Structures are given as C-alpha cells and as structure tokens.
Chain A
Amino acid sequence: MTPIDTSKGRGAAASDRAGRDTPAGSGLALSLRGVGKRFGAVQALADIDFRVGAGEVVALVGDNGAGKSTLVKIISGVYQPDGGEIEVDGRRVSISGPRAAQGLGIATVFQDLALCDNLDVVANLFLGRERRQSGIVLDEVGMEQEAWRLLRRLSAKIPSVRIPIASLSGGQRQTVAIARSLVGDPGIVLLDEPTAALGVAQTAEVLALVRRLRETGLGVILVSHNMSDVLAVADRIEVLRLGRNAASFDARDVSIEQLVAAITGASDEARSGRDDLAATPNPAGGTS
C-alpha cells in the first residue's frame, strides 16, 4: 500500500494511469476461467483464471517454468487447453490455432520472436497476411508504406525495412516483432518476455512501445520476470507459481518485495491479493 521508489519511472506511469478514463478504441476484453494444460507427466498449468480489458496492461509474472509461456501459447492458439473456458468480449470461443487467434484479434509476440532471418523487415511484418494486388501479385509498395506507418506509430528506429532481419540489433528485432503484432489491427497484444535479452536503453525503448500500445486502447498482456519493468508499465500484475494463480496485485499498491515473495511462495501474506488461494495450500508444490 505504500509507494515504492525503487521502481524507475513508476510515479510517472501511475499518474498517467490516473489521468485516463475508460479507453476508447479497438481494444478487446479477454478472460480465461479454469484453464489447464498438461504435458505428459508435467501439469504445466492448472485451473488458471485470467482476464485483461481494453486499454489495460496486465503483467504475467512468475519464476522460470511457472507456466507463463504455456499460458501465452494457449491464448495465442499454439497449444489447446485441456479444459476451461476462454471468452473474448463475453463470447465463449475456442482458439483452434494461430490463425483463429489472429481472427479473434489476439496478436502474439513470442519469446523467441519467431522472425525469419532470411526475409527482410517488410516480409516479416506481413508474413501470413501479405497484401496482394489483383489477387495474385504481392503489393510490395503498399506493404512497405504500411510498414513505415506502423514503425512510426511506435516511434521505432529501424534504418531500413529492406534489410534482412538477421542484420538488426536485439531491440530492433523486438520492435519489428511488436510492430508485426499490430499488422492485423488486433484488440489484444501478448508480449512474452519482450525485454529478456535486451540492454538498458533497448529495454526502455520496448517499455515505451508497451505504453504506446495501451494509449491506443489495446489490451496488453506482458510476460516478464523483471519486476522493475513490470512495475513501470503494468496496471495489474498476475503472479503464476508452479502452474497456478498465486496472487493478483494492483500495480499501484505493490512493492517489489511483495511480488518476489508471491513469486517464490516465500510468504503467505503476499498472497492476500487472492484470498481464495491464500487459504489453499498449493497442491503442485511438490513438483518442479
């Protein structure tokens, strides 16, 4: 409940949030209830509840192996959940594949970026959604124009869109990956560890991109295990531990210490954000 000054830029982010009304724009609300996923003997996710609204940045945090990427892949259609419900804007849906997710307005930036090194920036931005002239020929000029529009919208710094992805820096590749998620005009953007491999300046750049996504009314799911990044941009923080919901915090009212405690399971008090779970001992606690 006390403001923490260890988190950089948090004050600015908080006042930014306070100044905003319910966002307009093309954002979507997504909610998951009771979702589970098992890989062989590993129960990667169990009984997960999760929601994100339009114009909201929800951070998904947890230790390595907590199930963050698995949850992201379920939402983006890469994996099918074993059970549970998924709703988009109140409608129950099943996300049968990446294409279906795109169709529902859910765009994903994967942890391992999923870019084709041998293709240039434009080709990567529009991969799977190429624009065509007269139904056959690729509309290279139109796509290049749109590429610059997207990159400018993100105030991104890419020297040329006609160079192969392989020749870009880590931050630039991340920028391309985020810009690509915007090509289909999505309502929700999932970012899996977008700053994990980046330096200080590049991280700041990417966090600025995340704020810009929220400003345009999108719902953003940000997966990270960097607490200061999370506190800098998130509105709400969901903690996963060993494949279960461990806690949920309002980013304004939480300290790094509380977050770390919830992530490691060190303190029961830290779970007070979710009373129901705080009372239950974690059944997955024995496995790792």
Chain B
Amino acid sequence: MTVAADLADERLVRSKGLAGAVDVVWRRLRGGDLGSLPVVVGLAIICVVFYSLEPRFLSSFSLVNILTYAAPVGIIALGIVLVLLLGEIDLSVGSVSGMGAAVMSVLVVRESQSVLVGLLAGIGVGVLVGLVYALLFTKLGIPSFVFSLGGLLGFQGVLLYLLGSEGTINLPSDSGLIEFTRFSHLTGAAAYALVAGVVALYVLGGLWTIRQRKRAELSAPSVVGLAVKAALLAAGLAGLTYYLGIDRGWSYLFLLFVALVVLMDLALRRTRWGRHVFAVGGNEEAARRSGVKVTRIYVSVFVLTSTLAALGGVLGAGLQTSVSQATGTTDTNLTAIAAAVIGGTSLFGGRGSAYAALLGIIVLQAIQSGLNIVGVDSSVRFMVTGAVLLLAVAIDSVARRARSSSGRG
C-alpha cells in the first residue's frame, strides 16, 4: 500500500476511526485551538437559561427577530473582524454607520433623491472614511486606536450636524429599503430550495477537494465524513427553515448578512488577499520581506471595515425606519467590537474567522432579546454584555497561553 506524500513521515501519529477523530479534536482543544467552541457553548447556555425563564424566548417569532436585528450590527462586526485580524482596531464603526445612515436619509428625505442614490452616497461615505484612515495609518503612522477614537467623536458630530434641529428623520414608509429590511422574508418552497442549493454546493465543494487531493496523491478527507457533515448541515438548515417558517421565515436582511459572511470567509481563506491579511496580522515584517504589499493590505482592510460599517448603518436605518441622534452611538460601536471578539477573533492579530461576526452578534442579540423578554432594564443588559465580553477576552488570553505552552504559537 502506498502512503500519501503528506502522511509519509513516521512521526505522524495517524488517527483512525471515530475514536481517532475525537482524540484529534481533544488534543486541539487542549492545545488552545478553541475555534468557535466557546461561543457555541455560550449560545447553548444562553438559550437554556432564557428558555427556562421565559419559553417565549425560543418561539419562532422571537428567533426571527433575533436574526433580523442581529444583521446590521453583524455586518459592522464583520468589518471589525478584518481590522482585528491585522491586530488593529477601529473604534469609530458605530459613528461611521450613523453618519452613513444620516447622509442617506438627508438625501432621500430632504433632497428627494432616490433611495438608490441615498444608499450609494451613505456607503460611499464609508469608503471615504476608510481611505482617510488608511492614509493616516500608512503614511503618517498614527495608531489606529487614536484616529478611530477621533472618528468616533467627529463622525457623531457630523451625524448631529446633519440631523440639525429636527433630531430625527423618518424614512418614507414606502421606500424599497424599508420593504427589504423589515418586510421581506424567505419561506416555504423557496427557502427549502435555497437550503438544498447550499447543501449541494457544500457537497460539490467537498467532493472537488477530495478528487483534487487524490489526484495529487495527497491524503484526502473521507467521503463518508463529508456525507455525515452534509447530512447534519441539511438537517440543521431544513429544521431551522421549518421552525422560522412558522412565523415569517428567513429575513432577507439576515440572509444578506450571512451571504457577506460566507463571501468574506472564502475571501479570507481561499484568496491571496486573505492569506496576506493573516500574514500581516501574524508577522508584519515577515510578510513585508516575503513581498506582501503590506500597505495595500492595510488600505483594503480599513476601507472594507468603514464600508461595511456604513452598509450596516444604512440597513439598520431601514430596519428602524428612521435616523435619530442616537443612531450608531457608543452602543453600536462596542456591540460590534464585542461581537467580533466574543465570536472568537483574537485581539492579538492573525487569528479569527468571518464566522466570528455571525456567532458573536447572535450571542449578543440573543442576550439583549432574552433580557427584553424577561423584562430586565437595559442597564442590566450593558452589565451582562460587559461581563460576556470580559469572559470572551479571558478565554482568548487563556487559549493564547495554552497555544504557546503547547507550541502552537
């Protein structure tokens, strides 16, 4: 029997069967490679606790709301994942989202522009902010903490200035934006078709990988394993589709968020750009010497972060049907950053995944929703969110120590 090139070394402990697979997972966890395990466990605990306090927490209606309202800040958190991967930070994403929403609403309501123009302008503001940040960072060497703190204050000021004496701008209720964010849901046959499509893509991708690796005479994952995973994915998604369908179904807004997460994940793991983002976050000097265009990576990430923030802002405005002086204030900033960290993105750079934004924001939205349902004041919500954030950072730090003591860096 010939051995695949990547399994030829005699020191490789080969793991066989189910016990082997469990052993591999266990070793990885012991070594501080926690992945998304803590947040999944946390989510399970949250569900159990709130469900026992108030069964309505897990009702179809409640879940649809959690997912829908998670999306705008989740999109902002996706951008935060990117800056954190570089070991940088953007404290101003909430303010940028508020400013983007304000620009859009002013154009649409006061200047009677079309919603499309408003959206483009709102998002364009994000692009612009990102470019300026990138310039400050790469040309002047100002720490991201400093200029984004400036942005946090400055852009909140812009929001107040744009809103003027009115204080609140209500979006026209017949606009396509509100229709999309509030009232569009995917349910029934179309939803199941989407699930089938997603599972089919997953299976095809897996089979393609297996075929390519076999051809290259490298070890390949087993078809059975792939089938099991695909079956679990199909069952999970179909089950969720059914349960959410009892109420309104998958909201378009949430599906857009998930689509962005999946795209970002592919971009991070499967493209040269993503590889370079991780490299710069892991060891900037090494990346530079390897010929990575470090400046471009910083520019692309700062621009993407601000752009996603503005996008989250305009979508959030649609969901709230209005822009007010409170839009995108400190709460949004910190929730987005907390979501990325709680989801498992390391604050130390070079470690994390796009899915961190998805998982993290669902956790935070679930907590908020749960506390609302059991009738707790928002003061408690802040305290709980703070505690959860602290817990997540503590887990990150402990895992980091476990990694270095087990030689996984």
A residues within 8 Å of B by Cβ? Answer: 76, 78, 98-99, 102, 108, 110, 113-119, 123, 127-130, 132, 136-138, 141-142, 144-145, 148, 157-162, 164-167
CB pair A102 B283 closer than 8 Å:
no
Known: A116-B350, A128-B291, A141-B212. 10 other contacts (CB 8 A): A116-B283, A117-B282, A117-B350, A118-B350, A127-B275, A128-B292, A130-B272, A138-B271, A138-B275, A167-B409
Question: B218 at the A/B interface (Cβ < 8 Å)?
Answer: yes
- Determine if B408 and A116 form an interchain contact, defined as CB atoms under 8 angstroms apart: no
Query: In the bound complex, how far is the Cα of B409 from the Cα of A132, in angstroms?
Result: 27
User: Please, what's the 1-or-0 string for B201-230, where 1 marks a CB less than 8 Å from any CB in chain A?
Assistant: 000000001001101111000000000000
> B408 near A144 (CB under 8 angstroms)?
no
Across the interface, which residues of A come within 8 angstroms of B275, CB to CB? 119, 123, 127, 130, 138
CB distance from B89 to the nearest CB of A (A): 18
Q: Give the chain B neighbours of A161 by CB distance below 8 A.
A: 6
Task: Indicate if the CB atoms of A118 and B351 lie closer than 8 Å.
Answer: yes
> Which residues of A have CB within 8 Å of B16?
none
Interface centre among B12, B276, B279, B291 (most CB of A within 10 A): B291
Q: Which 3 A-B pairs have the closest CB atoms?
A: A166-B409, A128-B291, A128-B290
A190 to chain B, nearest CB (A): 12
Nearest CB in chain A: distance from B277 CB, A? 11
Give the docked Cα–Cα distance between A115 and B350 (Å).
Answer: 13
Beta-carbon contact of B216 and A142 below 8 Å = yes
B286→A160 contact, CB < 8 A = no
Contact B9 A159 (CB under 8 A): yes
29 pairs, CB–CB < 8 Å, chain A vs chain B: A78-B289, A114-B290, A116-B279, A117-B350, A118-B282, A119-B279, A127-B276, A127-B292, A128-B287, A128-B290, A128-B292, A129-B291, A130-B272, A130-B275, A132-B272, A136-B271, A137-B270, A138-B272, A142-B216, A148-B6, A158-B9, A159-B11, A162-B6, A164-B409, A166-B404, A166-B407, A167-B406, A167-B407, A167-B409
Within 8 A of A (CB), among B265-298: 270-272, 275-276, 278-279, 281-283, 285-292
Q: How far is the CB of A105 from chain B (nearest CB, A)?
A: 14
Output the least CB separation between A43 and chain B (Å).
Answer: 24
Whether the Cβ atoms of A165 and B409 lie closer than 8 Å is yes
* Chain A min CB distance to B295 (Å): 12
**Bound-complex Cα distance A254 to B211 (A):** 57
Q: Is the interface of A mostly helix, strand, loop or mixed?
A: loop
Q: Are the CB atoms of B281 and A118 closer together than 8 Å? A: yes
- What CA separation (Å) do A129 and B272 show in the bound complex? 9
| A107 CB to nearest chain B CB (Å) | 11
Residues of A within 8 A of B12 (CB): 159-160
The interface residues of chain B lying within 8 Å CB-to-CB of A108 are 289
Decide if the interface of chain B is mainly helix, strand, loop or mixed.
helix
CB closest chain-A residue, reference B33: A164
Residue of B nearest to A163 (CB): B408
Which residues of chain A have C-beta atoms less than 8 A from B407's C-beta?
166-167
How far is the CB of B263 from the nearest CB of chain A, in Å?
12
| Set of chain A residues within 8 Å of B408, measured between Cβ atoms | 164, 166-167
User: Taking the complex as formed, is B403 at the interface, i.e. its CB lies under 8 A from any CB of chain A?
Assistant: yes
Q: Complex formed: what's the CA distance from A110 to B283 in Å?
A: 14
- With both chains docked as a complex, state the minimum distance between the C-beta of A181 and any C-beta of chain B, in angstroms: 11
Q: Does B5 contact A (CB under 8 A)?
A: yes
- Distance A281 CA – B131 CA, assembled complex (angstroms): 55
Residue of A nearest to B409 (CB): A166
User: Would A115 and B283 be within 8 Å (CB), given that A99-B291, A129-B291, A130-B272 are in contact?
Assistant: yes
A110 partner residues in chain B, CB cutoff 8 A: 289
Which of A118, A127, A158 sits near B290, CB closer than 8 Å?
A: A127
List chain A residues, Cβ under 8 A from B409.
Answer: 117-118, 164-167
Chain A, Cβ-Cβ closest to B407: A167
Q: Do the beta carbons of A148 and B5 come within 8 Å of each other?
A: yes
Bound complex: CA A136 to CA B272 (Å): 8
Query: Bound complex: CA of A116 vs CA of B217, how far in Å?
Result: 27
User: B65-87: which residues lie under 8 A (CB-CB) from chain A?
Assistant: none
Q: Enumerate chain B residues within 8 angstroms of A138, measured Cβ to Cβ.
A: 270-272, 275
Nearest chain-A residue to B283 (Cβ)? A116
Cβ of A128: which chain B residues have Cβ within 8 Å of it? 276, 287, 290-292
Q: Contact check, A141 vs B287: say whether CB atoms are below 8 A apart.
A: no
Q: Are A166 and B403 in contact (CB under 8 A)?
A: yes
Max count, chain B CB within 10 A of own CB: residue among A98, A99, A118: A118
